[in-house]
Amino acid sequence: MADSVPVIVAKAISRVLGWAYFLCWSASFYPQPISNYNRKSTLGLAIDFPTLNVLGFIAYTISTAAFLYSPTIQSQYAIRHPESPETTVRFNDFLFAAHGAVMCIIIYSQFFPRIWGFKVGSRQKASVAVLGIFWGCLLGILIVWLLVTTTGKEGGKDASAWAWVDVVYALGYVKLITVVVKYIPQVHVNYKRKSTLGWSIYPMLLDFSGAIFSTGQLIIDSSLQGSWQGITANPVKFGLGNITIVFDVIFICQHYILYRVPAKDEEDQEQDDAERDRLLSQHIY
């Protein structure tokens, strides 16, 4: 039976929202590395942010690719969610994830002076807490993989036990965990410096718009399936949108309300930060 006009319109809106969020979120990766390049510095940007971003987007790329292109994962998902057997992962989700992984690697590389020659802070490695989360996530994926290979039925193909779809879910949850954690160090850095210098606000504005579009697409897709399992079975995409909105609002408030200072003062502060980092690296300060 052909789709009714409202359904056709809803599907069209879903596609528009999907590509709108893809464009917004994809564009949000560029202002920060461009700002770093123009300033020849990563001062003001917490290295914890790109460290977790690299892990999160690689995991997200693999998980979205599996949902889109693996018949095994698709069939296991359908068995686990009989009321809504078709996953709400779309091609724009995969393209966004793959593009994001590449850009995050580029931003992370800007913390290495031998590659870019930029000024960097005295702390050129992620904090112990962030590294703990990083390796903890990898350990979690490994544990799920071991459970599938050792206790799963039919080599992990039987969805009634530990199956390969659980590994894909683990990858998705890694992405969600990194999103929850990655913004916190940057919020703290801005608070400690009482400035957002070095942290581009434009990605946050694009993030905010993309989160609205992404959540809207997910809600429409779920309504078209006649089941909210499209949301509950895709908590990563739903969580990405909502968590992003919360932190975007915090960053927008920091930039436009809490830490508004004249450009000259910001420039002086950056010079002071650079000098302090230089002295710290020489064990003088």
Tens of pLDDT along 136-181?
999 999 999 999 999 989 888 888 889 999 999 999 889 889 988 9
> Where exactly are the structural domains of the chain?
5-281
Cα distance between residue 205 and residue 165, in whole Å:
34
Q: In 3D, which of 100, 121, 103 has the Cα closest to residue 186? A: 121
Cα dist from 134 to 148, 168, 179, 182, 244, whole Å: 22, 17, 12, 11, 20
Tell me the range of 50-54, 118-122, 180-184, 195-199 where mean pLDDT is highest.
50-54
User: What number of residues does the chain have?
Assistant: 285
Confidence check: pLDDT of 33 > 70 = yes
Cα distance between residue 142 and residue 67, in whole Å:
19
Burial call 175-197: b when 16+ CB within 10 Å, e when fewer: bbbbbbbbbbbbeebbeebebbb
The full DSSP string for 16-62 is HHHHHHHHHHHHTTSHHHHHHHHHTB-TTS-THHHHHHHHHHHHHHH
pLDDT, position 263: 43
Confidence check: pLDDT of 21 > 60 = yes
Range with the poorest average pLDDT among 8-17, 83-92, 173-182, 275-284 = 275-284
Q: Taking the model in full, what pTM does it have?
A: 0.78
